[in-house]
C-alpha cells in the first residue's frame, strides 16, 4: 500500500502569513493527489485535486505543487477562515490513503 507522510502535524501562524504543508508519497503516484480542509464537527472539503487543480469555489490563495513524490499545499495569505485541519490523499489506485493531517492554528 502507498503511505502518505504529511508534515508538520501542527502549524502555528498568523493572519496574512504564507504557509506550506508537505506530503510525501512512499512511491510514485503521478499527479493523483488531493488536498482537503476539515473544520471541527464537519465533513472534509475538497480544495485541490490532480496536484494543482483548484476545486470550484476555492479561493485562489490556495495552491498545490509537486516535485517527484513530494507534494505541497500553499496558502499565500492566511485568512481567519483558513484555520482548520488539512489532509492530503493519494488516488493513484482505488486503495486510497490519507496523510495524518496538519492542524493549522492561530499563533
Partner 1 sequence: EVQLLESGGGLVQPGGSLRLSCAASGFTFSSYAMSWVRQAPGKGLEWVSSIASSGRNTYYADSVKGRFTISRDNSKNTLYFQMNSLRGEDTAVYYCAKDGTSAVKPAALDYWGQGTLVTVSS
Q: Where does this chain bind partner 1 (CB under 8 A)?
A: 1, 32, 34, 36, 38, 43-46, 49-50, 55, 87, 89, 91-101
Judged by beta carbon, residue 10 or residue 77, the one nearer partner 1 is: 10
| Nearest distance from C-beta of residue 97 to partner 1, angstroms | 6
Judged by beta carbon, residue 95 or residue 107, the one nearer partner 1 is: 95
Torsion of CA 53, 54, 60, 66, to 10 degrees: -40
| Nearest distance from C-beta of residue 77 to partner 1, angstroms | 24
CB 91 within 8 A of CB 34: yes
From its phi and psi, is residue 77 left (phi > 0), alpha (psi between -120 and 50) or beta? beta
Amino acid at each position: 500500500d502507498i503511505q502518505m507522510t504529511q508534515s508538520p502535524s501542527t502549524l502555528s501562524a498568523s493572519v496574512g502569513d504564507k504557509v506550506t504543508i508537505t506530503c510525501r508519497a512512499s512511491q510514485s503516484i503521478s499527479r493523483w493527489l488531493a488536498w482537503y480542509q476539515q473544520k471541527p464537527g464537519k465533513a472534509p472539503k475538497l480544495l485541490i485535486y490532480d496536484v494543482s487543480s483548484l476545486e470550484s469555489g476555492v479561493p485562489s490563495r490556495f495552491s498545490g505543487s509537486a516535485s517527484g513524490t513530494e507534494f505541497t499545499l500553499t496558502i499565500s495569505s492566511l485568512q481567519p477562515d483558513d484555520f482548520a485541519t488539512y489532509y492530503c490523499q493519494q488516488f493513484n489506485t482505488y486503495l486510497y490513503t490519507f496523510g495524518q493531517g496538519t492542524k493549522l492554528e492561530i499563533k
